[in-house]
Amino acid sequence: MEETYLLNVEGVKKKILHGGQGELPKLQDGSKITFHFQTLKDDFERTVIDDSREAGIPMEIIVGKMFKLEIWETLLRSMRAGEVAEFWCDAIHTGMYALVSRGMRRIAEGRDPLEGQKHRCGMGNMFDYHSTGYDDLDELQRTPQPLIFIMELFRVEEPSAYKRDTWAMSKEEKLAAVPVLHSEGNRLVLRKEFAQAAAKYQEAVICLRNLQAKEKPWEDGWLKLESLVTPLVLNYCQCQLELGEYYEVLEHTTELLQKHNDNAKAYFKRAKAHAAVWNEREAREDFLRVAHLDPSMAAAVKKELKQLGERMRKKHVEDRKRYQGLFQQPRGP
């Protein structure tokens, strides 16, 4: 079955290769579209540029999230579930394809799609666009041209029908998700499912850090978000202590204390991690800071210091016996 007609968009033609089922889906902001695509040059050989089937993973875009190649959203709106269609798009719609393709290829290669654009000024990032790192894409970038897209639409899911990835959430959705994730983490801790609880706390922290990145450090908006981050990080560290991931705890508590050097709970968790990996001096220093910052924790500190002393004495005795046996000369017959 093939039918060629014009969409109500300048510079776009559509040919249906395989009919779909049902009505046209009603897309709204936040809907997730899952599809396979193939990108071809409009030349005699119909040279293949990209094919999502080679990566083995269908493409997904979220409606209304400013996908760089806006025409794709228009094309997909014209398709039914199960439909396969071929679209010819003029160069006015394909100028950004090289940059979009670069990002998709890097993701498929397990690389950061924003590699080379981090911590760079705007002018510095512009220079990255002179080369995509792929010869065929560099050619498209220098000379925008019509492209052919063959798409197979699998499904359209409404925002409430799937779990939203953090990056796809709006500011309001992220703020609403944080207390839910915090509560789920607490529930899992009560069930002693510490790995799953840590994942919930970590996801909540990621939501808040994404929002924080848009605020000016140490101003009111940033500080308000930081006040939500801190207890989540501490809960995450407690889970890691239970799981025996002591160096993970050292890393995150140290990072937290660089911003908040009066947080007694962070010092307490870091002290326990130091003690677990036999850093006696560091553990004692952190425990003493806890007692100084929060006298109500003095009893807990005293108990931890006593346990630390007993563990270290036992370790010294065992080490001494081990070394004595190592250097003792064997007796003759």
Name the residue type at position 244. G
Give all strands (DSSP E) within 52-111, no chain letters. 59-62, 84-89
Query: What pLDDT is recorded for position 89?
Result: 94
Looking at residue 67, what is its pLDDT?
Answer: 66
Question: What is the average pLDDT across 133-142?
Answer: 88
Are 211 and 174 in contact by the 8 Å Cβ rule? The answer is yes
Q: What is the pLDDT of residues 309-327, one digit of tens each?
A: 998 888 888 877 777 766 5
Flag the least confident range among 118-122, 279-283, 327-331: 118-122
Handedness of CA 119, 123, 127, 133 (dihedral sign): positive
- CATH 1.25.40.10 range(s) for the chain read 171-321
Q: What are phi and psi of 146, to 5 degrees?
A: -60, 145
User: Is the pLDDT reported for residue 18 higher than 50?
Assistant: yes
To which residue do tokens 């359209």 refer?
A: 156
Q: List, in sequence order, every residue forming a beta bridge with 18; answer none if it has no partner.
A: 84
User: Is residue 127 predicted with pLDDT exceeding 50?
Assistant: no
Predicted confidence band of residue 160 (pLDDT cuts 50, 70, 90): low
> What's this model's pTM, rounded to 2 decimal places?
0.54
What is the per-residue pLDDT for 83?
Answer: 94
Residue 122 reports pLDDT greater than 50: no
* pLDDT, tens only, 86-106: 999 999 999 889 988 888 887
Quick one: average pLDDT of 194-223? 90
Q: Which of 52-56, 290-294, 298-302, 310-314 comes out lowest in average pLDDT?
A: 52-56
Name every residue whose Cβ is closer than 8 Å to that of residue 327 and which is 6 or more positions away in sequence: none
Report the distance separating Cα 198 and Cα 185, nearest Å.
7
Cα gap 166→173, rounded to integer Å: 9
Q: How far apart are CA 59 and CA 100, in angstroms?
A: 12
CATH T-level assignment (fold) for domain 5-157:
Chitinase A; domain 3 (3.10.50)
Of the listed ranges 70-74, 95-99, 106-110, the least confidently predicted one is 106-110
The arithmetic mean of pLDDT across residues 230-251, rounded, is: 95
Task: Strands of 81-216 (E only): list them.
Answer: 84-89, 147-157
Q: Which residue has the higher pLDDT, 75 or 110?
A: 75
Name the architecture of domain 171-321. Alpha Horseshoe (1.25)
Q: What is the DSSP string of 237-306?
A: HHHHHHHT-HHHHHHHHHHHHHH-TT-HHHHHHHHHHHHHTT-HHHHHHHHHHHHHH-GGGHHHHHHHHH
Mean confidence (pLDDT) of the chain: 84
As a whole number, mean pLDDT of residues 227-232 equals: 95
The answer for residues whose C-beta is within 8 angstroms of residue 262's C-beta and 6 or more apart is 293
Cβ neighbours of residue 88 closer than 8 Å, sequence gap 6 or more: 12, 13, 15, 42, 146, 147, 148
| Contact assessment for residue 115 and residue 166, using Cβ atoms and an 8 Å cutoff | no
Residue ranges matching CATH 3.10.50.40 in the chain: 5-157
d(CA 161, CA 174): 17
pLDDT average, residue stretch 284-290: 95
State percent of the chain over pLDDT 90: 50
